[in-house]
Each structure stands twice: as structure tokens, then as C-alpha cells.
Amino acid sequence: MYNVMLVDDEEEVRIAIEKKINWGELGFNVVGTAGNGFDALDMALQQRPDVVMTDINMPFMNGLEFSKQLKAELPTTKFVILSGYDEFEYAKEAIELSVEEYILKPVNSDELYQLFSRLKNRLDDELEKRRNLENLEKYYQESFPYFKEQLLDATVASGFDAISADFGMLKNLSANANDLVEKAKVYILEHYSDSDLSVDKICSHLNVTPNYFSTLFRKKTGFTFVTYLTNLRMEKAKWLLDNTDEKAYIIAGMIGIDEPNYFSYVFKKAYGISPSKYRQKKEEK
């Protein structure tokens, strides 16, 4: 059973979509609904849905901005974008976000059923591939004691030079991992003001896979990429509020956040106060 979230600012639309098809029959479970991007982002990070179906035109944070923020944190989540006919110009941006499906309102039951049938097949294929990889990894882990014994026999036979070589190789692997993370930090520091900075961009620059990078980065820093980037952006925003007269929406763009309302939301979450009130308190001192 796969988890799906429905996001639309019109409650009647969310209810109608939820009731249009038999989700359980298709292999899905609706784990939550939300009326705006802010609430949806918090809910999705807790529920970690396999699929998110979101409207584009919503207050505070539109569906594309919400999808971009969530995709950075949960890269395997599938997105289905809902749109009215007058919003079709957003299709190009949706494609750039690797949205799985782009569907026009009003949605009918047959169309919705076919759409989620396709998604179910894709999710099943990906799950099968992950299971195969896990089984392969399990095989190697179970075989490791045997390989280790063979390696020890070989090193004893060939003397301490081989042991030293193996130790040197392990040191090099550790050094390379640390070097990779440091390079990532430098890249983030140099590009945090780019609104499209993502795990995929960094991995392309470093020539590593997203899964390997995300696991390594979190292990070495204690933070996910998104949390690390957000913390850095908020530190820069705080400095700009303290040391410049730029308006909050300008500062949002300077630190790589296109949506001013989202900037205000994240800043308040980080410091317990909105950017405008933070500056106001500073000026009162």
C-alpha cells in the first residue's frame, strides 16, 4: 500500500478527489490533506508520502514552490500537478521539476483512476528494483565473514606489506569521503543564493549519486542537505536584516528563496519571529 497526500486550497475539491475513486483498490492510502503549501510541507515531512497530488494556484506558497521544497528533502516522492486551463503555462516548470503527471481540472473519475494505475505500476517497478538491490547487499553482508577470512589468510601469506596497503586504502577512502563533504560545503556556500540549488546539482558537480551523497553528508554533518542549506540561508538572512536596509522580500531573493511568504515562514520557524518583527525589535534597541 502506497501513501498519497492531497493538497488544494479548496476543501470541496480535496473531498471530491478523495471520494472519486476507491484508493484501497488501487493500492493507495490517503494519509493526509492540506489547504496550502506551508501546512502541506510540514505534513509531508512527517508522513513521507509516496505520491503528492497538489494544486498549483494556492495562497502563501503555490504548488510548484511546495513541490520544489519537498522534492529537495524527499527526492523519491512522485508529484501530480493539478491545474486550471488558464494556468497551463506552468507546465514547462512542472516538467523541469520532474513532475510525474500534469492534469487539468475538472478531474473525472476515469482519468484519476488511469493516472494512479500508471503511478502504481511505476512504484511497483521501483520497489522491485530496490528489493533486488537490498537482497544483493544482504548477500554481500552475509558473505563478508568468508571474504574477510580469505583476506586475512592472504595478508598473512603475503606479509605485513599487504596489511599496510589495506590500511592505507581504508585511510584514503575515509579521506576522500571527508574531502567530498568539504567540497559540498564550499559549493553550497558559493551557490546558496541560487534558488534552484539542489542535491542533484551538487551531485552533478561532484560526480556522485544523490543517494550516496545524501547518506554521506548526513553522516558527516549531522544534517540533511536541505536542513544544512536552510540553516545557512537563515544565518545569511539574519545578517542582512542586521546590516542592511533591504526589504524582507529583497533579502529572500538574495538568499535563494523566490517566495517571500515562504521566507517569512522559514525565518519564523528558525528564530520564533518574523523578519519584519525581528528588524523592528532591532531598531527599537
Return the domain boundaries, the chain: 2-124, 164-285
Q: Is 32 exposed, middle or buried (0-12, 13-18, 19+ CB in 10 A)?
A: middle
**What are 215-246's pLDDT values in tens digits?**
888 888 998 888 899 999 999 999 999 999 89
- Does the 164-285 domain belong in CATH 3.90.1150.10? no
Residue 82 has φ and ψ, to the nearest 5°, of -95, 140
Mean pLDDT in the chain? 82
Helix (H, G, I), strand (E, B) or coil at 101: strand
**What are 238-258's pLDDT values in tens digits?**
999 999 989 999 999 999 988
**What are 158-179's pLDDT values in tens digits?**
554 444 444 444 445 455 778 8
Enumerate the β-bridge partners of residue 5.
32, 52
CA angle 137, 138, 142 (to 5 degrees): 120
Contacts of 101 (CB under 8 A, 6+ apart): 80, 81, 115, 118, 119
What pLDDT, on the 0 to 100 scale, is given for residue 162? 47
**What are 76-124's pLDDT values in tens digits?**
899 998 877 555 566 656 555 667 778 888 888 898 999 999 999 999 9
What pLDDT, on the 0 to 100 scale, is given for residue 97? 61
Instruction: Give the helix/strand (H/E) hosting 32.
Output: strand 28-34
How many angstroms separate the first and last alpha carbons of the chain?
56
Residue 207 has pLDDT above 60, yes or no: yes
d(CA 146, CA 150): 6
Residue 185 has pLDDT above 60, yes or no: yes
Mean pLDDT of 197-212: 85
Q: Whole-model pTM?
A: 0.62
Residue 133 has pLDDT above 90, yes or no: no
**What are 27-63's pLDDT values in tens digits?**
999 999 998 888 888 889 889 999 999 988 887 777 8
Residue 156 has pLDDT above 70, yes or no: no
Residue 26 has pLDDT above 80, yes or no: yes
What pLDDT, on the 0 to 100 scale, is given for residue 95? 58
- What is the number of other CB atoms lying within 10 angstroms of the CB of residue 46? 10
Q: Which fold has domain 2-124?
A: Rossmann fold (3.40.50)
DSSP state of 269: H
Mean pLDDT of 192-203: 87
Contacts of 141 (CB under 8 A, 6+ apart): none
d(CA 132, CA 123): 14
What pLDDT, on the 0 to 100 scale, is given for residue 121? 93
Q: Which has the higher per-residue pLDDT, 172 or 181?
A: 181
Q: Distance of CA 156 to CAs 143, 144, 146, 147, Å? A: 20, 18, 16, 14
Mean pLDDT of 273-282: 87
Q: Which has the higher per-residue pLDDT, 79 or 135?
A: 79
